[in-house]
Structure 1
Amino acid sequence: MEANYHSDPFAPLSDAEKAGKQAPPEDVWKPITPIPDDAPQLTREFIQARLPAGYSLTTGWKYLDADGHRMCSVIRADRPANGSPAAKTFMPFAFCEGPNKKREWRAKGLSAPRPLYHLDQLAKRPNDPVLVVEGEKAVEAAASIFGSHVVVTSISGSKSAAKADWSPLRGRRVTIWPDNDPAGIAYAGDVAALLHQTDVASVGTVQVPRSWPDGWDLADELPVDVDLSKLTELMALSAQQEPEFGSWENPDLSLLGTGRRPAPTFPVELLNGWGEWVEKRAAACSAPLDYVAISLLASAAAAIGNVRWPLAGANWAEPPLLWCGLVGSPSSGKSPSMDAAFALVHHAEEQMAAGYDDERRDYETKRQTAKATREAWEAEVKASVKAGENPRQMPAEAEVPDVPPRPRIRVADATIEAIAKLAALLPRGLLLVRDELSGWFGAFDKYGGGGADRAFAIEMYGGRPYVVDRVKNADPIRIPHLSIGILGGVQPDKLAEMLSGPDDGLVARMLWAWPEALPDFSLLREQQFDHKANAAFARLVELPMSADQFGNPEPRYIQLTSEAEDFLEKYARSVAIRAHQATGVMAGALGKARGHVLRLSAVLEYLWWCIQPSDTEPSKIGADAVLAASGIVDGYFLPMAERVFGDASIPLHDRLAMVLIRRLRDEGQSAFNARDLRLSKGGPLRDAGAMDAACSALVESGVIRPAPGREGNTKGRSSKKFEVNRRLFGRAA
């Protein structure tokens, strides 16, 4: 379309136009950028005609875009003193389109965000540092002094920094040179704040000496006794300012870590004769020995759960069972480690079930006998009723006995009734095994149990009598001692959800293991290595239970020695003080620590005994066992609890950012497309929202920054491309 210009765009304004009576409202005139090549020249006469009375055009500057095309002009006009204070003014001029597609030059500024002066120089010199000054005149002077820098400024003076587009400085090293007056210092502060938001590599501000003339800038004559070397020195000092932490020049790489405290080392030497077995089994599983050691402790605890209870003082006794959670990724070796301990359990269970086949046959005989006896009795009852006689009471032989369960230690069914029935029929104690504990925690009261599931789980820890009333059967399940240990795995990304339940002490009862994963693999080559361990563990299930006065199975209580009680009492006092000072779930873990030491002392005492060639069962729990137990709890399980609980408190976006930053570092990516990466790699970043959260956190840390661009030919959709900071790979940004 042919341009429709004013017939004489440079003609002086008429009196009516100057009064604003005939001119169209300014807001209907829209600047055209870049200015068309066929636009008329902006002449001195045109500008002068639009200046306030008494002002004369002094100079002007053309604002160009990155490609060198003109976008607007800014002019300076001065008023001579002539008896009154000298003054200056600045006016922008833009080529605009107005009513009826008319086009002409107008004394009008561009809409925000406005371009910087010297955009073309920024594009031509992409690797050079940038100097920001106040005003175009200062730009020209500074460019002649600091030729190594691209010098820029924003339109409209010291109060309009926020209206400029500072994005072309993204990733650049920037220095700001303020005018030596309050307005100049304020402008420098505004620019610095805006540049930090723009994700520049670094920002430094020159500290102009206060002794220099008020209002001095780089376009003025040098102060007395100051030469150019002093200006260079001031620039160098500003460049030595420490870059802001989390900026492109100084990225926050802490997300490369896990965000949690380091994993403590499990004191395997405290297992005495079991230490070698744990180490070799862990090597065969290509897993941290923590997993194997704790699986062994949990299994041994269940083997004596209701058989031997430690007794401290006159009446403090607890079942020695343990609740243990192994935290790690699916490939960290949790399951093979548990299987190593379960091999011992399986061997012991086979020994426990040595006479089970005969017991089942005896049961079948009794069941059929009871069935026949009942049928005969029922016939007898009918005959007695018919004859008008009182029938005799059903004989005991007519009652069908319960099916004897196969002796075992491990259970997998986690429903209340299933566990309760097994606990009633297998009074020695049980170990509930779950591949993924978060599923067990998450299932509590899923179907409206009114808190019963969680309450039952808590009771499993205490070993107290428990009764389960059944809807389908009037006869309740009576359990003399509900003692059930727990052992299972947990994936790290499930921790926060798992630990977010009610503060009822359930989580505080858990003993956690979250060692660092081992990038290794090896095979166990000793075929008969487990023979000694199998025989030793089996000794635990040979221990007989006691009985109460009614003949019901009852634990035998093993007293701590006097010295062991003194150690336990001292430890309990110290940990009580720490629990009082702690908060949240960690306070609960500290509160359970003394009980864990008591339980673990019994487990260790019997583990030490069963692996040693001695036929004499421990009659006491000694001080060595209590000291070893307190060492494991205080030196391993409590620090591990801090590691686990601390990770659960890390915000989700930071945990996602940790996954992304490690992936970028490991793969050496200098740039990536967030959408392509999440679709190709999957994992926790597969979800678009999760990837956006991770990218946002890394942008804030200075690790990545958006790369300009659009998705295909669309106008509004960002391509989600990012540049990766070279410092992530140990190289200069």
Structure 2
Amino acid sequence: MPLSEPDTLPASIADWPPLDRALLGETHPALPTFPLHLFPTPWRAWVEASSRLFGSADYLTHCLLGGVAAVGGAGLRIEVAAHWREPLLLWQALVGGPSSGKSASFARVRALLAAVTPHAESGDRAAPTVVFDGGLERVDTALLGSSRGVLLWRENLADWMAEANARGRRQDRRPARPAWLAGWSAGSSLVGPRPRDDFAVGIAGALSPERLAAWGEGDRALASRFLYVWPQRGAAPSLADGEADDSGLVALLQKIASLAGHRETPCVVPFDEDAARRLEALMPALQRPVDEREEPGAEGVAAEWIGRGVPTLVRLAGLLSLMEWSLSKAEWSPVRATHVEAAYELWSGYYRPHALAVFDRSEVGACEHAARRVARWLRRVRVSQISREDVRREALCQSVDVEGAEEVLARLEAVGLVRQLPPAGSSRGGPRRRRWLVHPQLAGRASEGGS
């Protein structure tokens, strides 16, 4: 095979450009860290103490915000106007590579949620009901025994996306997509032959950077409902976790859970007049396009995500309001303008740049996606030279034709990962063979710290 041909070139080659780590999927833009100053002191103190074990607070804070939403679920509605109420439901994607703390962060918050008890008269076994790696039917079954909704954790959200758009083997089996879409807004849905009112589902899950291309090829309406977190690797973890006040935080979660009603007869937390006016003033900024030069109707999942900015901000403002209220002795408290401002800072200064970074990586063309696959393959096989057929057959498993392989090689040449060699003739005649030299750091001819 071509890959086994001897390398007749020198082992050390100078004048190569720096290795493009982004094409290898090893880097992403530096993104903001979670603005912990927006959390009331006991909530912030718990995150700061607990996150030492993980090195970064982003995943943990993201999961904690989802946990606060889950104890209320559709049993709490944030009312902006008489005709507009948002349930406390969040869909959250934790983006990162293996062993980056995604599952561990959710497990840390899950331990708090397990200590929260439901209303005695509700008949619920937990507040909230948590389903691990389940599909639509398991979520639907769990929802039958939950008054406020279900929190679903998925270890691989890319698989969940594929399942959501798949149709069952039986012809009468409906795709799960419409039910999931209803779950984000606690709307009515049809699960199999059974109609469901107030189908309320919060979602949290892990998403690998290597699956972002598949995620981008999935359903835009589903992808645009998620809040994304993609932090850089944090500091070295520390075992000093003794200061985290778990019992104190469980008490705060319990207070919010006790305020929640049934999803069919929810407790309503209203905006006050100043909060409503402030939201109205912020709406033009919330709908600002990704690119200032684009029209507001720009296409793409990023535009759809921004289009859901207003209802998402309402939910975030409601969560921050409830977290503050949990520290008071008041029977209830409305959402105020300060909460709207804080939610806008959280959405625009943190969640928006993280989401756009994810969409920028996921919405790549077929050629760019294939080039990234080949780059990762080169890093794995460590060969000095490749041919077009190596790219087409070995790296891409014949998923592209000859023309597509040429486009991929041109892309790799443009970023300096390969370099075409002068065509070599054959002793038997025939077409001259074309081969490409591989970047020394990918071929193993230079140290990884070189270039």
TM-score, with normalisation over the residues of structure 1?
Answer: 0.49
Partner AA of 2:317 in structure 1: S
Residue 698 of structure 1: CA displacement? Answer: 4.3
Contact 1:558 1:620 in 2 (8 A): yes
When residues 249 and 458 of structure 1 are mapped into structure 2, their CA distance, relative to the original with a 3 A threshold, is same
Contact 2:77 2:269 in 1 (8 A): yes
Please, which of 234, 238, 242 is the counterpart of residue 526 of structure 1?
A: 242
Structure 1: how far apart are the matches of 2:133 and 2:15? Answer: 56
- Other-structure match for 1:655: 372
Residue 624 of structure 1: CA displacement? Answer: 1.3
Structure 1: how far apart are the matches of 2:439 and 2:224? Answer: 44
The Cα offsets for residues 203-224 of structure 1, whole Å up to 9 and x where unpaired, read as xxxxxxxxxxxxxxxxxxxxxx
Q: Does 1:572 align with 2:283?
A: yes
Q: Does 1:447 align with 2:168?
A: yes
Please, which of 95, 118, 136 is the counterpart of residue 327 of structure 1?
A: 95
Contact 1:568 1:626 in 2 (8 A): yes
Q: Does 1:499 align with 2:205?
A: no
Look up the SS of the partner of 1:324 in the other structure. Answer: strand
Structure 2: how far apart are the matches of 1:435 and 1:340? Answer: 15
Q: Does 1:266 align with 2:42?
A: no
Partner AA of 1:455 in structure 2: P
Higher RCO (CA-CA < 8 Å; seq separation 6+): 2
Please, which of 202, 207, 210 is the counterpart of residue 490 of structure 1?
A: 207
Larger mean CA deviation between 651-660 and 323-332 belongs to: 651-660
Matches within 5 A, 1:257-406: 260-273=28-41, 274-286=43-55, 288-348=56-116, 351-352=117-118, 406=125
Partner AA of 1:463 in structure 2: A
Structure 2: how far apart are the matches of 1:413 and 1:659? Answer: 28
Partner AA of 1:305 in structure 2: G
Structure 2: how far apart are the matches of 1:284 and 1:727? Answer: 32
Contact 2:301 2:359 in 1 (8 A): yes
- Other-structure match for 1:438: 158
The Cα offsets for residues 380-424 of structure 1, whole Å up to 9 and x where unpaired, read as xxxxxxxxxxxxxxxxxxxxxxxx652342123644343233324
Look up the SS of the partner of 1:329 in the other structure. Answer: coil
Structure 1: how far apart are the matches of 2:244 and 2:377? Answer: 45
Structure 1: how far apart are the matches of 2:437 and 2:187? Answer: 60
Residue 345 of structure 1: CA displacement? Answer: 0.8
- Other-structure match for 1:399: none
Structure 2: how far apart are the matches of 1:575 and 1:723? Answer: 44
Partner AA of 2:77 in structure 1: W
Max Rg structure: 1
- Other-structure match for 2:401: none
- Other-structure match for 1:554: 265
- Other-structure match for 1:383: none
Contact 1:656 1:691 in 2 (8 A): no
Residue 271 of structure 1: CA displacement? Answer: 1.5
When residues 707 and 691 of structure 1 are mapped into structure 2, their CA distance, relative to the original with a 3 A threshold, is farther
Contact 2:174 2:192 in 1 (8 A): no
Please, which of 421, 425, 429 is the counterpart of residue 145 of structure 2?
A: 425
Q: Does 1:602 align with 2:325?
A: no
Residue 352 of structure 1: CA displacement? Answer: 2.8
Q: Does 1:688 align with 2:394?
A: yes
Partner AA of 1:289 in structure 2: A
Contact 2:260 2:266 in 1 (8 A): no
Contact 2:22 2:28 in 1 (8 A): no
Residue 653 of structure 1: CA displacement? Answer: 3.5
Structure 2: how far apart are the matches of 1:567 and 1:660? Answer: 51
Structure 1: how far apart are the matches of 2:174 and 2:288? Answer: 32
Structure 2: how far apart are the matches of 1:319 and 1:425? Answer: 19
Contact 2:150 2:200 in 1 (8 A): yes
Look up the SS of the partner of 2:87 in the other structure. Answer: coil
Contact 2:151 2:203 in 1 (8 A): yes
The Cα offsets for residues 602-631 of structure 1, whole Å up to 9 and x where unpaired, read as 111112222x2x232433111111111111
Residue 307 of structure 1: CA displacement? Answer: 2.3
Structure 2: how far apart are the matches of 1:584 and 1:275? Answer: 35
Contact 1:321 1:483 in 2 (8 A): yes
Matches within 5 A, 1:177-326: 249=15, 251=17, 253-255=19-21, 260-273=28-41, 274-286=43-55, 288-326=56-94
Partner AA of 1:629 in structure 2: A
Structure 2: how far apart are the matches of 1:728 and 1:523? Answer: 31
Residue 541 of structure 1: CA displacement? Answer: 1.8
Structure 2: how far apart are the matches of 1:641 and 1:309? Answer: 25
Partner AA of 1:625 in structure 2: H
Q: Does 1:460 align with 2:183?
A: yes
When residues 696 and 343 of structure 1 are mapped into structure 2, their CA distance, relative to the original with a 3 A threshold, is farther
Structure 2: how far apart are the matches of 1:688 and 1:543? Answer: 59
The Cα offsets for residues 662-705 of structure 1, whole Å up to 9 and x where unpaired, read as x69xxxx9x85479xxxxxxxxx9x9315998887544433444
Contact 1:325 1:489 in 2 (8 A): yes
When residues 595 and 697 of structure 1 are mapped into structure 2, their CA distance, relative to the original with a 3 A threshold, is same
When residues 699 and 413 of structure 1 are mapped into structure 2, their CA distance, relative to the original with a 3 A threshold, is closer
The Cα offsets for residues 29-53 of structure 1, whole Å up to 9 and x where unpaired, read as xxxxxxxxxxxxxxxxxxxxxxxxx
Partner AA of 2:88 in structure 1: P
When residues 532 and 263 of structure 1 are mapped into structure 2, their CA distance, relative to the original with a 3 A threshold, is same
Structure 2: how far apart are the matches of 1:447 and 1:469? Answer: 11
Contact 2:167 2:176 in 1 (8 A): no
Partner AA of 1:282 in structure 2: S
Residue 644 of structure 1: CA displacement? Answer: 0.3
Contact 2:32 2:350 in 1 (8 A): yes
Structure 1: how far apart are the matches of 2:67 and 2:307? Answer: 24
When residues 705 and 469 of structure 1 are mapped into structure 2, their CA distance, relative to the original with a 3 A threshold, is closer
Residue 314 of structure 1: CA displacement? Answer: 3.0
Q: Does 1:643 align with 2:357?
A: yes
Partner AA of 1:352 in structure 2: P
Q: Does 1:616 align with 2:317?
A: no
The Cα offsets for residues 570-589 of structure 1, whole Å up to 9 and x where unpaired, read as 22222234371532111101
Residue 557 of structure 1: CA displacement? Answer: 1.6
Structure 1: stretches of 5+ with no match in the other structure: 1-167, 172-200, 202-247, 360-403, 471-475, 547-551, 676-684
Partner AA of 1:427 in structure 2: S
When residues 697 and 604 of structure 1 are mapped into structure 2, their CA distance, relative to the original with a 3 A threshold, is same
Structure 1: how far apart are the matches of 2:49 and 2:423? Answer: 55
- Other-structure match for 2:132: 412
Two-structure CA RMSD over aligned residues (Å): 3.9
Structure 2: how far apart are the matches of 1:617 and 1:718? Answer: 77
Look up the SS of the partner of 1:506 in the other structure. Answer: helix
- Other-structure match for 2:305: 589
Structure 2: how far apart are the matches of 1:478 and 1:728? Answer: 56
Partner AA of 1:411 in structure 2: V
Look up the SS of the partner of 2:74 in the other structure. Answer: coil
Residue 534 of structure 1: CA displacement? Answer: 2.1
- Other-structure match for 2:293: none
Matches within 5 A, 1:704-715: 704-705=418-419
Partner AA of 1:457 in structure 2: W
The Cα offsets for residues 511-556 of structure 1, whole Å up to 9 and x where unpaired, read as 111111236232134176322222222222222526xxxxx94112
Contact 2:76 2:260 in 1 (8 A): no
Contact 1:597 1:626 in 2 (8 A): yes
TM-score, with normalisation over the residues of structure 2?
Answer: 0.77
Structure 2: stretches of 5+ with no match in the other structure: 1-7, 291-295, 399-404
